[in-house]
Amino acid sequence: MGNSPVFKEWLNAFDNKNPFLIAGPCSAETEKQVLETAHLLKNTPTQVMRAGIWKPRTRPGNFEGIGKKALKWLQKAKQETGLLIATEVANPQHVDLALQHDVDILWIGARTTVSPFNVQEIAEALKDTKKIVLIKNPVNPDLELWLGAVERFYKQNITNIGVIHRGFSSYKKKKYRNIPEWQIAIDLQNRYPDLPLILDPSHIAGRRDLIFDLCQTALDLNYDGLMIETHPNPDKAWSDAKQQITPKKLSEITEKLQIRKKASKSSDFQKNLTTLREKVDSLDEEIMDSLIKRMQLAKEFGQIKKEHNVSILQNERWNMVLDKMIKHGKTGNLSEEFILKIFKAVHQESIEHQKHILHKK
């Protein structure tokens, strides 16, 4: 899969003054709800209406979707409003039904992307399609798995593709329902700069008050579009009630969002940018030099531990170092999570260097 500009072609067919916007309920519930949502979305910048028909629930017994019958409701929504329609497909039968009902965008859910067998079957069912296929990230933070799914579609001669970043499941539930791990999406963007990248803030957030900030971050990171769960009566939604917003709220959010230019030709901007980049480059060099020096010291540690036959890991000392660094980081507003990540990585590398010395005959 080369860096083919062909990927952006489908996206360029939409008005791109604003971010590409997909909105609509987590699930289609009733004909009335689907049509009401569609008409309300018509007054927002939404270009495509989404609705889940087959819902992959983590636990059985939750609402599992209306099924095939709801495809007719979506078709009717499209006829009445002119909005394009999108739904999730999780197997070849879903694909057939969605194609029969002229669904414009088919997306692959996070629980499907994790399975290369499922993805392969769906990709084969869609072979040569001109429909738009959007691939959500897998539930686990694995860039290769995500890319693998994209490549399976591309290999079936499907080029109208894009990806949706919906966050990653984590055992430690904190602020987000699914942690964003922005770096994974940025890595994907670096590998395939022409692959349209869409944020799904609803499934990352899990709650409606975080949606605006997530959308703004995505635009600041040059994402191409947004997919936002929208419901006429969010609290009464049959699935994902806490994270859905009303069409009115959707309009407020889109109005507030700042679209930033990828670059500016103003010479002041360029000069400031260059100066800042030089400073950052020199700090990065300093960080690298310090790391190199630190690992040389690790080797010396290894040497004396070897001479005195002492184990590499000295827990007490390590906890003290971590504690001190977390406190220090806080004085500059660095998060504990960030400090832990860095120092665990540094410690791991340092253990490797010490091991090398200890194991040398």
How far apart are CB 55 and Mn ion at their closest, in Å?
A: 8
Per CB under 5 A, residues contacting Mn ion are 26, 240
Task: Check: CB of residue 113 under 8 Å from CB of residue 137.
Answer: yes
Q: Pick between residue 40 and residue 227 the one whose CB is nearest to ligand PEP.
A: 227
Residue 42 binds which entry of Mn ion, ligand PEP, none, with Cβ cut-offs from 5 to 8 Å by kind? none
Calpha distance 251→1 (Å, rounded) = 37
Positions that interact with ligand PEP (CB under 6 A): 26, 52, 56, 109-111, 136, 166, 203
- Smallest distance, Å, CB 230 to ligand PEP? 12
Residue 205 CB, shortest distance to Mn ion, in Å, is 11
Q: Which does 166 bind (CB under 5 to 8 A by kind): Mn ion, ligand PEP, none?
A: ligand PEP
Which partner in ligand PEP, Mn ion, none is near 136 (CB below 5 to 8 A by kind)?
A: ligand PEP
Least distance in angstroms from the C-beta of 59 to ligand PEP? 13
Cα–Cα distance, 328 to 55 (Å, whole number): 46
Q: CB nearer to ligand PEP: give 200 or 298.
A: 200
By beta-carbon proximity to ligand PEP, the closer residue of 58 and 258 is 58
CA–CA distance, 128 with 140 (Å, rounded to integer): 29
Least distance (Å) between residue 196 CB and ligand PEP? 17
Residue nearest to ligand PEP (CB): 109
In angstroms, what is the minimal distance from the CB of 239 to Mn ion? 6
Q: What ranges make up the beta strands (E) of 192-331?
A: 197-199, 225-229
Structure tokens at 169: 């499941």
Instruction: Give the nearer residue to ligand PEP in terms of CB position, either 45 or 52.
Output: 52
Which one, 224 or 240, has the nearer CB to Mn ion? 240
The number of CA neighbours under 13 Å toward the Cβ of 92 is 9
Distances from the Cα of 94 to the Cα of 75, 245, 318, angstroms: 15, 27, 53
User: Which three-class secondary structure state does DSSP give residue 206?
Assistant: coil
CA distance 155 to 187: 21
End-to-end Cα, the chain, rounded Å = 47
